[in-house]
Amino acid sequence: MNIGILTSGGDAPGMNAAIRAAVRTAIYNGIKVFGIRRGYQGMIEGDIFPMQTTDVSNIIQRGGTILKTARSKEFTTDEGMKKAFDQLKKHDINALVLIGGDGTCRGAVHFFEKYIIPAVVIPGTIDKDLTGTDYTIGFDTAVNTAIEAIDKIRDTADAHDRLFIVEVMGRDAGYIALNSGIACGAEDILIPETITHIEEVLCKIESDERRKKTVHIIVVAEGDDFGGSKEVYESIITRFPTLDVRTCVLGHIQRGGSPSFADRVLASRLGYAAVNALRDGNTQVMAGVVNGNVVFTPLTQVIKGEIPITEDMLEMIKVLAV
Ligand code: F6P
């Protein structure tokens, strides 16, 4: 068996740890490994090279991905997929480990409808928006990065008696906003999974002002249904023109940096499990961790996950922000 390994979509801290684990597990089992650079695009272009154990030395602590990554439009076309398949054949690659998020999974499902290649996906995305796993590689680090930034912003908010709107990543998912917001004691958390009633947000600010609560942090997911930090800012400043309000978009700092222990361990477990699964003939699955155990979900059943936010959780956020 010759395994090709790639990272695709947005980079996520811990991807390198997953590459390291997959490469070393393969070589330990006498399996040849090839790195495919820049995700599906590199597969199409044949940017493929053999990997040894030393190629993955000293990378477990590094953010980004040594294999580089890309979002490939060409791979969504029949011609692109054909070129990619031809390159795999040319390099004698007959199994794949694909590390990425929902776009990577969707790409894989379409590809395997046309071409049969044993494959295992490892969930790597800061958004944590996939079913079939409790955590995705990169999420824990991204939330910790957001927390560190929001804590610092709170110092300034406190010093100046300011209201801050902090926008965190999450195109369609509020996991980063929800968790960083709770962990930083945000006064409000706006996420795409719940309908944002801006009037309620404004009422809360009004009542906080009346009670002389001068520090106010609102964490908003970039994909919130009401809009991002810009829209929230406009509404607040229109209603309270004298309020000292600032916005801060955390952006891509959430994607980089050294992975947390949780992401390194998760990535190591999933990289190891993915190669063992291929070796044992368990293919066209995503390897995930559910309740602490490695589980495999058929790729066709992996979908963009809905945040399991309960009424109780929403109530808790309200109570703790009093
Ligand atoms: O999917 C991860 C993510 O960081 C999203 O949270 C964000 O919306 C998107 O990627 C940004 O993508 P890009 O870096 O390609 O602009």
Predicted pLDDT at 118: 98
Ligand 1 centroid – CA 134 distance (Å): 20
The CA-CA-CA angle for residues 154, 151, 199, to 5°, reads 55
257 by Cβ neighbours in 10 Å (0-12 / 13-18 / 19+) ranks as middle
Nearest CA to ligand 1 atom 12: 10
Cα separation, 200 vs 204, in Å, equals 6
> Using CA atoms, how far apart are residues 307 and 303, in angstroms rounded to an integer?
12
Number of the ligand 1 atom closest to the C-alpha atom of 222? 8
Provide the token pair at 70. 């890309």
Q: What are the sequence ranges of the domains in the chain? A: 2-138+259-302, 140-255
Structure tokens that stand for 120 in this block: 């295992």
140-255 fold: Rossmann fold (3.40.50)
Give the pLDDT score at 307.
Answer: 65
- 145: part of which helix (H) or strand (E)? helix 139-160
pLDDT tens across 129-186, in order?
A: 999 999 999 999 999 999 999 999 999 999 999 999 999 999 889 999 999 999 999 9
Closest CA to 177 of 127, 247, 141, 123: 127
Tokens linked to 283: 């293919």
Residue closest by Cα to atom 9 of ligand 1: 171
CB 44 within 8 A of CB 3: no
Q: What is the pLDDT of residue 310?
A: 83
Question: Average pLDDT of the chain?
Answer: 96
Query: Is 165 in contact with 245 (CB distance < 8 Å)?
Result: yes
Q: Which position has the token pair 């029949």?
A: 78
Look at residues 92, 251, 93, 104 and name the one whose alpha carbon lies nearest to residue 166.
251
Distance of alpha carbon 273 from alpha carbon 283, whole angstroms: 12
Please state, as a whole number, how many other Cβ atoms lie within 10 Å of the Cβ of residue 45.
Answer: 16
Residue 313 confidence (pLDDT)? 86
Q: What CA–CA distance (Å, rounded) separates 63 from 19?
A: 12
In this structure, the residues whose C-beta lies within 6 A of any atom of ligand 1 are: 10, 71, 101, 125-127, 169-171, 222, 255
Please give, one letter per residue, the 3-state secondary structure of 214-270: CCEEEEEECCCCCCCHHHHHHHHHHHCCCCCEEEEECHHHHCCCCCCHHHHHHHHHH
User: Any bridge partners for residue 50, and if so which?
Assistant: 34
Q: What is the pLDDT of residue 304?
A: 77
Per-residue pLDDT of the chain (322 residues; tens, 9 = 90+): 999 999 999 999 999 999 999 999 999 999 999 999 999 999 999 999 999 999 999 999 999 999 999 999 999 999 999 999 999 999 999 999 999 999 999 999 999 999 999 999 999 999 999 999 999 999 999 999 999 999 999 999 999 999 999 999 998 899 999 999 999 999 999 999 999 999 999 999 999 989 888 899 999 999 999 999 999 999 999 999 999 999 999 999 999 999 999 999 999 999 999 999 999 999 999 999 999 999 999 999 997 766 677 888 888 988 998 8
SS3 56: helix
Q: Which residue's C-alpha comes closest to atom 3 of ligand 1?
A: 10
Q: Do domains 2-138+259-302 and 140-255 have the same CATH topology?
A: yes
Choosing from 127, 188, 224, 263, the catalytic residue is 127
Catalytic site residue 161? no
Percent of the chain past pLDDT 90, that is, above it, reads 92
219-256 CB burial, b ≥16 within 10 A, e <16: bbbbbbeebbbebbbebbeeeeeeeebebbbbeeebbe
At the topology level of CATH, where does 2-138+259-302 sit? Answer: Rossmann fold (3.40.50)
CA 147 to chain CA mean position, Å: 16
